[in-house]
Structure 1
Amino acid sequence: MQLKKLFCLFITIIIVASYSFSAFGLPGSSAEKAPDIDAASAILTEPLRGQTLYSKNPSQRLHVSSASKIMTAIIVIERAKLDAKIAISKESVDVTGSMLNLEAGEKFTVEDLLYAVLLTPANDAANALAEFAGGDADKFVSMMNSKAKELNMENTLFKNVTGLFDKDQYTTAQDISLLMSHALKNPEFSRIFSSKGKVFNSGVLVNHNKLFWEYEGVDGGKAGYNDKNKQSAITTAKKGNQRFLCIILDSPENSVWSDSSKIFDYAFDNFKTDVLVEKGQKLHSITISDTPLNLVSQEEVLYTYPIGESNIRDVEFHLNNDLRLPLLKTQSVGTAKYILEDETIINISLYPQEDTGESKKTVSYIWGKLTEHKDLLYLVVILIIIEFLLIIKSLVGFIKRRTSLKEKREDT
């Protein structure tokens, strides 16, 4: 009987433990299992900081037509005015693959052609943009490779602007995530990338990324392929305060959208975006000239982490050299460096919690207070102007009285 009770207790402990591990998403639980996808390569990131949350062969070199179009678009956006007019040349329409059938001599704005390139695989539009921004296609390709180097895309080489197959052209999921993290910080790129459709030349361009209509929360996308059985989808999705970037490369035609959906489900089910540091939170303390100082963050900082884990590996504090009083609370004195388990680094500027030392007696302190409270600054400026006008009025009155007195003396 005693043995039976012990056996029942043992079974109960196993069941409770299994439930607990599953509920909190600890390693080995079914909730933590990475999705099984058909794509040759994939990556899931938090695009603001570039945190990698999942990957499959992220450094495998592949030919990805969409990478050329995205690089073309961001370079043009950074160099040209969107309302500038482009006259379509004969050379730009002399291209194979997917086209909008633009005609030589037609004129379009840069913005219209950018919509064409990001929503559809419009090779003629890509050529026209490259000619406009780079002088010719070859010069523009050099600009693409220079930009890739600038963004540390170490496994990328562009050979054309259209993304047409070239055996020497390659990139990786990891490199595309670097490109997208950069591009998504540009509001003009994000606006176009988030469009489902666009009226164009008496027709309508429809975004080829089907996830806009198949997955809740999708707010940006680009899709394309050279081989129908090796398709790619680059997509962003947002729910609440969480936004993820999913890159699927070389997935079969019947799997590219389901692969993307599986990755997004995994992201929203297993990761949380929350406050790392609150605005005004004390992060560190130091002493300068026997004066203690609390150092705080002046902004709220968010980060993404696996549910059930803090994901913070270490925190380092780096202070500016030769710190001395007085110090204003608007003066950065160093950095708190948060190192996450996935190697992501988040740098947070440190500020004194309050003005310290002789700063309260200085002109800089007064100016700091005025700029901190703009309504007070405006009031002081108005009072100074009024005082200045009163001085002028008094001076004019004094001059008039002197002149009048002098005239009276001359009359007598």
Structure 2
Amino acid sequence: MKRKPQKPPTKIKMQKLSYLIVLSLLVSGIMFTVSAKPLLAVPYISSSACCLIECSSGQILYSRHAHEERQVASTTKMMTAIIAREYCRVNETAVVSSEAARTPRYVIGLRQGQKLTVEELLKAGLICSANDAAVVLAEHCAGEQALFAHLMSQKAFLLGARHTHFANASGLPNHDNYSTAYDLALIGRYLCHDPYLARIVATKQTKFKHPSYTQVIDITNSNRLLESYPGANGIKTGTTNDAGKCLVASAIRKGRHLIAVALQSGDRSGDCTRLLNYGFNNCKPVKVIDHSQIFKELRVKNGSMAYARIYPGQDLFLWQGEKDLNFEKRVKINYDLQAPIRPGQKVGALSVYVDGGLVDSTDLVSGDAVERHSNIFQRIKDIIY
């Protein structure tokens, strides 16, 4: 009985050696720890959940139960203002509906049929936390409060606030209206990047054009830190029986911007004061990536040099407090470099994560100039090895 001839293994030979030219990306994550020096301990915080972040990077400096979902009262109005800014012009005129006029306290006393601008509504909602002003904004922007709340929830998700859902624009008690200390810090951080809203939440006292009065009235910010804490510039208070007393506080000192969140607090101003003091006085920058240190040496094909030295494009820093700093490096890099290579040419990227969140990143670049080598023997050597 004749055996059928086997097919020659052509696809396993020289043909696939040419696949060395295909781009190869390596993705890796490696945990690192920087030991903390003896520093001042975190002070007593009465809040059941709290969070402190550095605003430019979003890095968490301190947290406790920061990812627990809970009622957050009128801190909800931060997102109300963000959506109103995205969907409306501040000089537009809104009309108070019968539903908005019936909004439970705290309200500024708007009546059905009254007209006022989006700008005045934003001031009333953010400075004195008027629930009726928030409802008027929602109805003006989206036609109804339910649709507006859906837009709020979508925006929160896009900002990385993955444990947040809104059911109304005011923050009045509703089991479907919840967030976390960390998510509120992210939302507050985003609000602070809007100069118009940042100016409102930093206002201690201002004039409000109430449609029921011929003269403007004074309204005072419910955030007492604006009066008592040097550098305080926002952001929002909130109080209900279910949520307790809440505060999202922001402060800037010597170019550093921190955001502190205290939820269900026995002393929200004191808690945020102690968190901010801890961040400003006790958290120091630590260099975790040095651009002058060789990150790796990569082989270069068809080059005058066999390897190119790879460096980070810039230094990267993290903020460190009383605890050891655990962070992760994630790398994407091209392992199939072909000459010529220019100095400074990007060959990959390096990202630094803390607590699973991206803090900063930099390019990986070549530190060498590698010319193309035309020697046939070198090319054969490159293919074999």
TM (norm. structure 2) is 0.73
Q: Is the 8 A contact 1:242 1:272 kept in 2?
A: no
Identical columns (%) = 26
Distance in 2 between residues matched to 1:33 and 1:215, nearest whole Å: 21
Structure-2 residue corresponding to 1:193: 201
Q: Is the 8 A contact 1:25 1:270 kept in 2?
A: no
Question: Of 263, 273, 283, which residue of structure 2 is paired with 1:261?
Answer: 273
Deviation at 1:352, TM superposition (A): 4.5
Kindly state the Cα deviation for residue 69 of structure 1 after the two structures are TM-superposed. Answer: 0.8
**Distance in 1 separating the partners of 2:233 and 2:295:** 35
For 2:337 and 2:93, how far apart are their aligned partners in 1? 53
Q: Is the 8 A contact 1:220 1:237 kept in 2?
A: yes
Which of 335, 342, 349 is the equivalent residue of 2:349? 335
Q: 1:50 deviation in Å? A: 2.6
Aligned with 2:94: secondary structure? strand
- Higher fraction of strand: 2
2:91 touches 2:117 (CA, 8 Å); kept in 1?
yes
Alpha-carbon distance, 1:327 to partner = 5.8
Question: Which runs of 5 or more structure 1 residues have no equivalent in the other structure?
Answer: 1-23, 359-412
What is the CA–CA distance in structure 2 between the aligned matches of 1:275 and 1:239, rounded to whole Å?
21
Residue 208 of structure 1 deviates from its aligned partner by 0.9
Q: What amino acid is aligned across from residue 148 of structure 2 in structure 1?
A: F
**Secondary structure of the corresponding residue to residue 279 of structure 2:** helix
Structure 1 vs Structure 2 CA RMSD: 3.3
2:280 aligned partner, one-letter code: F
Q: Whose helix proportion is higher, 1 or 2? A: 1
For the 8 Å contact 2:70–2:243, the answer to whether it is kept is no
Unaligned runs of 5+ in 2: 1-34, 210-215, 373-385
Residues 289-308 of structure 1: pairs in structure 2 closer than 5 A: 289=301, 290=303, 291=305, 293=308, 295=310, 301-306=316-321
Distance 1:88 1:136 in 2: 12
- Aligned ranges 1:19-38 → 2 under 5 Å: 26=37, 31-38=39-46
Matched residue type, 1:271: C
Alignment partner, residue 73 of structure 2: 65
> Aligned partners of 1:194 and 1:357: how far apart in 2?
57
Following superposition of structure 1 onto structure 2, how do residues 118-133 of structure 1 map, counting pairs within 5 Å?
118-133=126-141
- Corresponding position: 1:78 with 2:92: no
Choose which of 260, 270, 276 in structure 2 pairs with 1:246.
260
Say which SS state the counterpart of residue 54 (structure 1) adopts. Answer: strand
SS in 1 for 2:361: strand
Given that residues 272 and 307 in structure 1 are in contact (C-alpha distance below 8 angstroms), is that contact kept between their aligned partners in structure 2? no
Q: Contact conserved, 1:97 with 1:164, CA < 8 A, in 2?
A: no
**Contact 1:76/1:133 (<8 A) preserved:** yes
Which residue of 162, 165, 174 corresponds with 2:182? Answer: 174
SS in 2 for 1:333: strand
Higher relative contact order (CA 8 A, sep 6+): 2
How far is 1:34 from its partner? 2.5
Q: TM-score, normalising length from structure 1?
A: 0.68
- Could you say what secondary structure the match of 1:319 adopts? strand
Note the 1:305-384 alignment, pairs <5 A. Answer: 305-306=320-321, 311=325, 313-320=327-334, 323-325=337-339, 332-340=346-354, 342-345=355-358, 346-352=360-366
